[in-house]
Structure 1
């Protein structure tokens, strides 16, 4: 087995709980809209918002405008829709400023890996500014090689295209056999890097994706970054 010289990470539901954060931030946004006068209960509005996000995607810029278009007219009677939307957006961003934090075991392992001389990077799917902002707000950017932060929109290649991972290998100037990828989505984060000869670890604590029926076999399956630490120490001999 080749020595491991670099580790690349997914962001969402790998470095922090995207799913839990988004759920909380959206509820806060809906409650702020109701405080502004929206005449519906929070659960009803959240169900409609979830449907909007499912249809238009999480990176769509006008979720709340679409949401109000779908609600019954009486829910907005006597209200200025732009003020209702603004209340939701402000509350969402206030939640982001206050609560966007990495999993507790992430920064300690990244710090130890850097101290051990490992190259660290990110391969992530999403809008450039949005994904970069997450790394800054999570206060993790200092751990990663700047040129090895690969964002799909920025390079014009989307997961699960293996070319996205090949771009990271070129930036690191390392062969695939010396690089490990860590992510939570088997289809996007395990099979594509493996197809290039990289090793891949599936981190499953977010419980959003399952291996069942995929035919995908990760090189390692871990619950969290403490489990990853054990693999790196016992399998690869890295002093962490």
Structure 2
């Protein structure tokens, strides 16, 4: 019987794009110092480039505008991106789901990769501690991404926190490359959240991925 429901954060509970759009507001101001265009135009260029691909977006917008700057400027933009205070929120659907799970006496956990300062700012802005009892930011567990997924450690931390067995936990995530490696090894249940906006689902999803859900609310069908 499932006692603990664990969620991924980016592109599961929230859209990673919403975080990016929030950062682009501040980054557009910084870019306007070297790209002689209105801030609103720079913002729209960033959004357009992001929709094509989120990779190397700051390099690409500078190249697009024939601006050649040293790596330090790119690093400054990345710093703003990772450390800005995001203007993001949970959707009504997600809030209703989390409240329903809590009311139904399921324990809730979160495991999220990403740079520590970035993920902490997201957690604070989203007020996740109102809904989720145990939040594990894997970057806080060690250096050099040692305990990022697919490490088993974050799952073990949640198991020990709630004093349950692995087969009493289910993990919901969107990354087919790393989210389910540890849960499978540990004997947990898991489900792929099929999210058309996920960065990690651009390739065709293989049929043998196991359980999958198209809407987060479908998790309720898996834990009855």
TM-score normalised over the length of structure 1? 0.68
* Shift, 1:121, TM fit: 0.8
Indicate conservation of the 8 Å contact 2:23/2:80, yes or no: no
* Shift, 1:44, TM fit: 11
1:142 equivalent in structure 2: 130
For 1:187, which of 171, 177, 186 is the aligned residue? 177
For 2:14, which of 10, 13, 16 is the aligned residue? 16
Instruction: Tell me: CA distance 1:194–1:176, structure 2 relative to 1, closer, same or farther (3 Å).
Output: same
Matched, 1:72 2:68: yes
For 2:137, which of 151, 156, 176 is the aligned residue? 151
Instruction: Tell me: CA distance 1:7–1:218, structure 2 relative to 1, closer, same or farther (3 Å).
Output: same
Indicate conservation of the 8 Å contact 1:186/1:216, yes or no: no
* Shift, 1:132, TM fit: 2.6
Write the distance in 1 (CA, Å) between the matches of 2:118 and 2:131: 19
Write the distance in 2 (CA, Å) between the matches of 1:201 and 1:180: 8
Instruction: Tell me: CA distance 1:199–1:160, structure 2 relative to 1, closer, same or farther (3 Å).
Output: same
Matched, 1:164 2:162: no
Write the distance in 1 (CA, Å) between the matches of 2:117 and 2:84: 15
Indicate conservation of the 8 Å contact 1:183/1:203, yes or no: yes
- Which has the greater radius of gyration? 1
SS at match of 2:192: strand
* Shift, 1:28, TM fit: 2.8
2:28 equivalent in structure 1: 31
The superposition leaves residues 180-220 of structure 1 with CA deviations (integer Å, 9 ceiling, x where unpaired) of: 0011111221232122100111112234323747675233x
The structure with the largest helix share of the pair is: 1
SS at match of 2:35: coil
1:42 equivalent in structure 2: 42
Matched, 1:114 2:102: yes
SS at match of 1:187: coil
Q: 5+ unaligned residues in a row in structure 2: which ranges?
A: none
Instruction: Tell me: CA distance 1:196–1:217, structure 2 relative to 1, closer, same or farther (3 Å).
Output: same
For 1:223, which of 203, 214, 222 is the aligned residue? 214
Q: 5+ unaligned residues in a row in structure 1: which ranges?
A: 74-80
What is the alpha-carbon root mean square deviation over aligned residues? 3.9
Indicate conservation of the 8 Å contact 2:88/2:126, yes or no: yes
SS at match of 2:91: coil
Equivalenced residue count is: 205
